[in-house]
């Protein structure tokens, strides 16, 4: 289980009469002092295991009598979420969900060091107080994340049923997610698949790394879209799984890390030397990892229609690509 701490670990054994019950309902029955919304948020956050396997779908049905269910409950944190009138680029919205084109630099939800000014604060202003508690108290409406400095398409839920449906899709990886990235060099072959389990870096806890022994399965499909001069490329990366920093880790693992990536993006002097001084300045001054969530497609959890949303590259990445192409 990810990010366990010294907080309470609650356990139970599935009884015969409980076989086939929803996981969130089972936990709510055994632990009535914990709100249903918090239980669902803990499940989505990967804090619940059945027989040592992390389950992230609240609607998951427990199948085996005698299975051991464990839930890690972090110490409660006082959260005072405020609605803030912040810029939001809305690609689509109905009564069930909202699709956002997140700007680079925006944090998704409040956290230490980022108490406000987040996507959650903006959504609370746009959607109203009804959003509070959906999927959990700290991250209302949120079903997935993009890193602060990654731009692009995100979905948020506007009510609990939509949140549960979307959470199930993300937990099962049953959706389409394609990113565009500017890489050092160009992968060869120009189309391929990177398979390498990902886990926490044992030397630097802020990083992830390919860890075939202890990591979780991770698969990234890539395609070179454009060669940028002699030393970079624009690449489409489609996720088969969705691990933390997956594209950044996988591209670095094959020797083609993202330009601007402060954790994984160092380039050799020889690779840098392929660019003119002006191009090198464009790289040095690029303020973030060159990564954009370009496509998000999924079966709408309420209408059951397949929906697909696209976001074109933001201006800063277009400028970088133009500079490196000359």
**Which residues belong to the active site?**
147
Pick from 298, 310, 291, 312: nearest CA to 146 = 291
Reply yes or no: is the peptide bond before residue 135 cis, omega within 30 of 0.
Answer: no
Beta bridge partners of 142: 156
Provide the 3-class DSSP secondary structure of residue 231.
coil
The radius of gyration of the chain from alpha carbons, rounded to an integer in Å, stands at 21
Provide the 3-class DSSP secondary structure of residue 223.
strand
Pick from 263, 252, 302, 260: nearest CA to 284 = 260
Pick from 263, 260, 271: nearest CA to 321 = 260
| Rounded CA separation 90/101 (Å) | 6
Provide the 3-class DSSP secondary structure of residue 105.
coil
| Rounded CA separation 308/298 (Å) | 7
The answer for residues whose C-beta is within 8 angstroms of residue 67's C-beta and 6 or more apart is 13, 14, 50, 51
**Rounded to 5 degrees, what angle do the CA atoms 110, 113, 116 make?**
40
136: left (phi over 0), alpha (psi -120 to 50) or beta: left
Pick from 297, 242, 295: nearest CA to 101 = 295
């Amino acid at each position: 289980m990810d990010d366990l701490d010294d907080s309470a670990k609650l356990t139970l054994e599935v009884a015969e009469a409980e076989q086939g019950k929803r996981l969130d309902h089972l936990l709510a029955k055994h632990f009535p002092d914990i709100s249903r919304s918090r239980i669902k948020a803990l499940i989505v956050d990967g804090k619940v295991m059945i027989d040592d396997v992390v389950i992230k779908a609240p609607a998951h049905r427990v199948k085996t009598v005698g299975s051991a269910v464990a839930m890690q409950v972090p110490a409660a944190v006082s959260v005072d979420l405020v609605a803030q009138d912040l810029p939001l680029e809305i690609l689509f919205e109905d009564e069930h969900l909202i699709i956002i084109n997140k700007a680079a630099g925006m944090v998704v939800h409040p956290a230490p060091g980022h108490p406000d000014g987040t996507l959650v604060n903006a959504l609370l202003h746009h959607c109203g107080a009804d959003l509070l508690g959906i999927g959990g108290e700290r991250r209302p409406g949120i079903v997935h994340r993009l890193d602060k400095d990654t731009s692009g398409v995100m979905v948020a839920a506007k009510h609990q049923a939509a949140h549960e449906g979307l959470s199930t899709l993300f937990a099962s990886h049953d959706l389409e997610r394609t990113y565009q990235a500017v890489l050092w060099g160009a992968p060869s072959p120009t189309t391929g698949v990177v398979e390498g389990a990902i886990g926490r870096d044992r030397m630097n806890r802020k990083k992830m790394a390919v860890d075939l022994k202890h990591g979780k399965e991770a698969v990234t499909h890539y395609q070179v879209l454009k060669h940028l001069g002699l030393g970079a490329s624009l690449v489409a990366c489609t996720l088969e799984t969705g691990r933390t920093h997956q594209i950044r880790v996988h591209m670095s693992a094959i020797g083609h890390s993202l330009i601007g990536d402060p954790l994984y993006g160092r380039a050799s002097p020889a690779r840098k030397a392929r660019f003119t001084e002006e191009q090198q300045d464009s790289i040095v001054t690029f303020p973030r990892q060159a990564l954009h969530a370009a496509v998000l497609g999924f079966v709408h959890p309420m209408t059951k229609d397949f929906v697909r949303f696209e976001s074109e590259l933001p201006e800063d990445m277009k400028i970088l690509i133009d500079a490196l192409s000359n």
